[in-house]
Amino acid sequence: MTFPSHRPRRLRSSAAMRRLVGETTLEPRHLVLPMFVADGLDQPRDITSMPGVVQHTRDSLRRAAAEAVDLGVGGLMLFGVPQESDKDGDGSIGVRPDGILNVALRDLAADLGDATVLMADTCLDEFTDHGHCGVLDRVGRVDNDATNRRYVELAVAQADSGAHVVSPSGMMDGQVAAIRDGLDAAGHTETAILAYAAKFASGFYGPFREAVASSLQGDRRTYQQDSGNIREAVREIELDLAEGADIVMVKPAMAYLDVVRAAAEISSVPVAAYQVSGEYSMISAAAERGWIDRQSVVTESLVSIRRAGADIVLTYWAAEAARWLS
């Protein structure tokens, strides 16, 4: 029998050889840790559908953030959870200096300075009593332009509070351009915009609704993208790039790796992907039952997102994975 002169298995013969020829790297700096901070808590509250993830108090947030930064995690993405009584139709608590997200941003900015990249979710869904990502018009539809005006106020408030990066996630048309103009006018020319450029109306967000105590009734299909549409996703990414996005993001990640790849092929700026709550919960549940090896599957999932073309991965495993990688 004649064998080919080159046998690929030669390059898999030892751990050292595999490390030498490895094509895709995964390092702590590639990872961003999403974190939830809730108003009115005196101790962290477990998120039952996301084992190991909590709604933080201000103090526990500070401790967990410092630990993640010490582990080398590349950045932190903050979500604020106000008290129910503070929610209203236009999410005003998100703009107020005493709102929980802005208070927490100031805490971490004071503690960490430029030792990490401090990101803020720039959206209204956590802050509105209807749970939608925007301001509603008189017939209950999300008003694109009124929402963009509110996003500008949110972004400026977050930058004032110390955010290095604001992250519009509501999928409003023109949101990046509006926020860039608003930040520049307010003197925040150095504040970057991470645009949720291709955010799909996904069933994988279920556990997140618990994490932010969402008040949503219905769905967000009139502004988030249809899961079958990749050309539309590419068009959205191109529009955000043209409007001045500093980073573009695909969300969710694992079920949309083809979109991550398409983004990487056209983007002149870094590409991020968000491994969302449902992805986290599925792997966690299977690992708890002993059906899969948790560490190996988590690592494989993160490598797959990097292999598809993501420069940055938002994942609830960021700190834990950084510990494994150290």
The answer to whether the beta carbons of residues 76 and 108 sit under 8 Å apart is yes
- Cα 213 off chain centre by: 17
Q: Which of 30, 130, 132, 251 is catalytic?
A: 251
Nearest to 305 by CA among 274, 262, 326: 274
Q: Which two tokens stand for residue 172?
A: 């409003």
Is residue 251 annotated as a catalytic residue, yes or no? yes
The answer to whether the beta carbons of residues 138 and 93 sit under 8 Å apart is no
Q: In terms of C-beta density within 10 A (0-12 exposed, 13-18 middle, 19 or more buried), how is residue 122 classed?
A: buried
Tokens 């002169």, located at residue: 5
Instruction: For residue 180, give every residue at least 6 positions away whose Cβ sits within 8 Å of its Cβ, in sequence order, or none.
Output: 193, 243, 244
Question: If DSSP codes are grouped into helix, strand and coil, which group holds residue 280?
Answer: helix
Number of helical (H) and strand (E) elements in the chain, helices listed first: 11, 10
Q: Which helix or strand (DSSP H or E) is residue 88 part of?
A: none
The answer to whether the beta carbons of residues 285 and 309 sit under 8 Å apart is no
Strand segments, DSSP code E, in 106-164 are 117-122
Is residue 199 annotated as a catalytic residue, yes or no? yes
- Residue count (the chain): 326
Strand partners, 142: 136
Q: Which of 30, 150, 199, 306 is catalytic?
A: 199
Dihedral of alpha carbons 272, 31, 58, 49, sign? positive
Point out the residues that are catalytic. 199, 251
